[in-house]
Amino acid sequence: MPDQAAEGDAVNLAGSGDAVGGAGAPPLSGSTGGLVCSEVSVAFAGVRALDKVSLSVNRGEVVGLIGPNGAGKTTLLNVLSGFASTVTGSVHLDGQDITHFTPQRRARLGLERTFQHGRLFSGLTVRENVELGALAVRASSRSARSIADRLLANLGLEEMADLPVAQLSHGDQQHVSVARAVAATPKYLLLDEPAAGLSEGSMAELGVVIERAIRESGAGVVLIDHNVDFVLKLSDRVVVLDYGEVLAEGPSDEIRRNVDVVSAYLGEAGVEDLAASQAQ
């Protein structure tokens, strides 16, 4: 049976869980490398969804993006992937200005994105779906098959290779979405709510698949998800948005203890609980 979705953001800022990559990397400064957006603003019907937001991610780094509902997380992912219009500011990929590039052109340059609802072909097998990721970047049919088989083995998904996607649980479909994106050999990978609707057990399995995918591809990753603890555990560095502005940025453990972040999620009661836990 499909996993049951939890309501709202799952928040455990006081919990434990070190970032997978350790201390995290500082933001880019004056570098021509990386995926970088600078001073980005987006407005809808006169309402600012993003206000002069800057973000960067290096190859091999996982940057988590969290914030309360309506903070601007999805809008920022749309800016990076080319699905947002009327953007001020700039987006660069390894030094090239891609601000006005279409999503398709960005994909050809090595920028891949997954979507919350997968967008898989339910009538095709797992292997065939993953092959499509390789074919999208003009791999031959033979090499696409080889890429898919290698990826499925490396990600621990080979047992489901010949199953139709329609027969998979929601959690397994999310695994396939990640594999298909990695098959396109991305330089940068944007993961949009990959854990949405997953149970804790399925979420842990997905975390393992994502870690393996990062090692396989060496891609820089921007990760957003409503489950804050999931993001904090996987990320080297975390950017917190609130009302379309950057509220905080730093390693996961630092973000867990940030009073402004706790207040944005949990209000003054959360701040008092944090202070009490730190005093013990």
Q: How far is CA 270 from CA 46, 55, 86, 266, 277, in A?
A: 32, 27, 37, 5, 11
Question: Which alpha helices (H) appear in the chain, and where do they start and end?
Answer: 73-81, 103-108, 126-135, 141-154, 170-183, 200-217, 228-234, 252-256, 259-279
Query: Is residue 179 one of the residues assigned to a domain?
Result: yes
Residue 232 and residue 17 in contact, taking contact as beta carbons nearer than 8 Å: yes
Domain contains 158: yes
Closest CA to 277 of 79, 266, 177, 135: 266
Give pLDDT tens digits for 37-86: 999 999 988 889 999 999 999 999 999 999 988 999 999 999 999 999 77
Length of the chain: 280
Which residue range is the domain that position 213 belongs to? 35-279
How far is the C-alpha of 17 from the C-alpha of 122, rounded, in Å?
Answer: 35
Residue 15 included in any domain: no
Domain contains 9: no
Report the number of distinct structural domains present in the chain. Answer: 1
Which tens digit of pLDDT belongs to each residue from 223-250? 999 999 999 999 999 999 999 999 999 9
What's the pLDDT at 1?
A: 35
pLDDT band for position 280 (cuts 50, 70, 90): low
Could you tell me the CATH number of the domain that includes residue 57?
A: 3.40.50.300
Please count the other Cβ atoms lying within 10 Å of the Cβ belonging to residue 70: 13
Residues whose CB is less than 8 angstroms from the CB of residue 147 and which lie 6 or more positions away in sequence, other chains included: 130, 131, 134, 139, 183
